[in-house]
Amino acid sequence: MTDASMDSAPVKGRLTTVDARTRKRNAAEKRFKAYGLVAILIGLFFLVVLAVSILRSGLPAFTQAEVQVEFTLTQEEFDAAESQMLKTRAYEDLFIAALQGQLEERGLEVAFDPAAIERLLGKTGGTIREFFLENPDRIGTPVTFDLAASSRVDGYFKGRVTRDTVVDSRFLMVSDLDLVDALADAGIITSSFNWNFITGSDSGVDNPGGAGIGVSVIGSFFMMLVVLALSLPIGVAASIYLEEFAPQNWFTDLIEVNISNLAAVPSIVFGILGLAVFIQFMHLPQSAPLVGGLVLTLMTLPTIIISTRASLKSVPPSIREAALGVGASKMQTVFHHVLPLAAPGILTGTIIGLAQALGETAPLLLIGMVGFIARAYPEGVVSGFIDPNSAMPAQIYTWAARADAGFYEKAWGGIIILLIFLLTMNIIAIILRRRFERRW
């Protein structure tokens, strides 16, 4: 209220007694507070629903039913298996025979045959072959293997498959569950932490037990290196020039408008651009993190430029004037005084931009990073940039589309890992801002 209105409308009654109008105003304020509280509660509710559903669907991916068997491979068996075309199949058969022999020795009361054992096991041949190729001295000595059980048996341990829902099929018969129970009692099938999910690579659609997200984490890491190495220097240089040096004319206005518009362009458009420019015109390799990083750089640049300019703007002009006043050149002013003060804001913007790029799938669809991509870790830095690899969100997308319910669970597990990365990056951004931010 201004003095003038006070004069024209003299106060009636005492200040301490509450009149009707004050009551109304107080009620309006209370109502507004309640609206705000409800809005926050609704937001919190959805956050909790999201977190609970992600954790409930995703946590099972971190455990895996494993079959533990001591297994001896003779040199003759090794040579015979290696002479086959489908070597992994030969190892699987040997393994099944070994397991059957052990079960017979133990005298299980449940009837079983090799076909039932095969249904219980996941794809084991690859792991066994890899082990003996790397450790040829172990041939002929007993080795204990912990191998993934089949997707249905794994689901039975996690409650995804129950006796009521299981339908007899070549994947699992209802009668096999008796055998599973017996083996679980005997300690042969156990549920343990699934390290392979964190360190492993993608697997074929019939092998959900062997799938892991590790290799695609590396793919994402190399992409982020490219994004950081390109978008930070380019973005900061562009913003400093625009903010501190560029003359204010129609041309710089045009650039500014375009940068703001670029920030709003749907990410898939950058994917199309990447396909046309980087792969078809510049002949960079398909499915490579280098190209993925270049595409994501294009996407991240506007975000970084906008946040950098905002933090440069927030440095008070008095700092610049003081520096110029004691004789610093324009460039010295910027690099000795303005930039260090703006650094926390720039870093925060960069990290948020990187986090956004980390979760992006759409542009990767078009440059060949979505599908069945990588089975091995890259060999060294160059290979990390140019050898085909996937990325975390692309891997999650691929898994979610597969028929086996085991992969669906893995997709949720992948989301948890992706969220952990995103949260970590955001926390780093908050800490940096808290520590270095200056207020005026």
Partner 1 sequence: MSVKLSVSALAIAAVSATAAAARDNVQIAGSSTVLPYASIVAEAFGENTDFPTPVVESGGSSSGLKRFCEGVGENTIDIANSSRPIREAEVAACAENGVTDIIEVRIGYDGIVFASQQSGPAFDAFVPSDIYNAIGAKVMKDGELVDNDYQNWAEFNADLPDAEIAMFIPGTKHGTREVFEEQVLLVGCEATGAMEAMISGGMSEDDAEDACLDVRQDGKSVDIDGDYTETLARIDANTNGIGVFGLAFYENNQDKLKVATMSGVEPTTETIASGEYPVSRPLFFYVKKAHIGVIPGLKDYAQFFISDDLAGPNGPLSNYGLVSDPELAKTQQMVADEKVMGADM
What residue ranges bind partner 1 (CB under 8 A)? Answer: 84-89, 125-126, 129-130, 161, 165-167, 169-171, 203-207, 230, 233-234, 237-238, 279-280, 282-287, 290, 365, 368, 370-376, 382, 385-388, 400-405, 408
Strand partners, 142: 72
Residue with tokens 């059957």: 100
Q: By C-beta, is 54 or 230 nearer to partner 1?
A: 230
CB of residue 281 vs partner 1: minimum separation in angstroms? 10
CB of residue 211 vs partner 1: minimum separation in angstroms? 10
CB of residue 180 vs partner 1: minimum separation in angstroms? 16
Q: By C-beta, is 217 or 294 nearer to partner 1?
A: 294
Q: Which amino acid is at 77?
A: E
CB of residue 184 vs partner 1: minimum separation in angstroms? 21
Residue with tokens 């002929």: 140
Q: By C-beta, is 190 or 383 nearer to partner 1?
A: 383
What's the maximum distance between 2 C-alpha atoms anywhere in the chain?
109
CA distance 279 to 73: 47
CA distance 263 to 352: 13
CB of residue 332 vs partner 1: minimum separation in angstroms? 19
Q: By C-beta, is 268 or 324 nearer to partner 1?
A: 268
Strand partners, 148: 66
In Å, what is the CA distance from 159 to each residue of 162, 372, 403?
6, 28, 18
CB of residue 297 vs partner 1: minimum separation in angstroms? 10
CB of residue 287 vs partner 1: minimum separation in angstroms? 5
Closest by Cα among 339, 398, 72, 388 to 208: 398
CB of residue 18 vs partner 1: minimum separation in angstroms? 54
Q: By C-beta, is 139 or 365 nearer to partner 1?
A: 365
CB of residue 373 vs partner 1: minimum separation in angstroms? 5
Closest by Cα among 183, 39, 211 to 103: 183
CA distance 319 to 267: 38
CB of residue 290 vs partner 1: minimum separation in angstroms? 6
Q: By C-beta, is 65 or 341 nearer to partner 1?
A: 65
Q: By C-beta, is 95 or 385 nearer to partner 1?
A: 385
Alpha helices in 245-338 (DSSP H): 250-263, 267-274, 289-313, 317-325, 330-332
Q: Which two tokens stand for residue 123?
A: 């794809």
Q: By C-beta, is 282 or 322 nearer to partner 1?
A: 282
Q: By C-beta, is 337 or 375 nearer to partner 1?
A: 375
Q: By C-beta, is 157 or 408 nearer to partner 1?
A: 408
Residue with tokens 């008095």: 318
CA distance 399 to 395: 6
Sequence-distant (6+) residues with CB within 8 A of 205 are 402, 403, 404, 407
CA distance 226 to 293: 5
Determine contact, residues 288/388, Cβ cutoff 8 Å: yes
CA distance 201 to 346: 35
Q: By C-beta, is 152 or 348 nearer to partner 1?
A: 152
CB of residue 76 vs partner 1: minimum separation in angstroms? 20
Provide the 10 A C-beta neighbour count for residue 194: 23
Closest by Cα among 388, 393, 386 to 225: 386
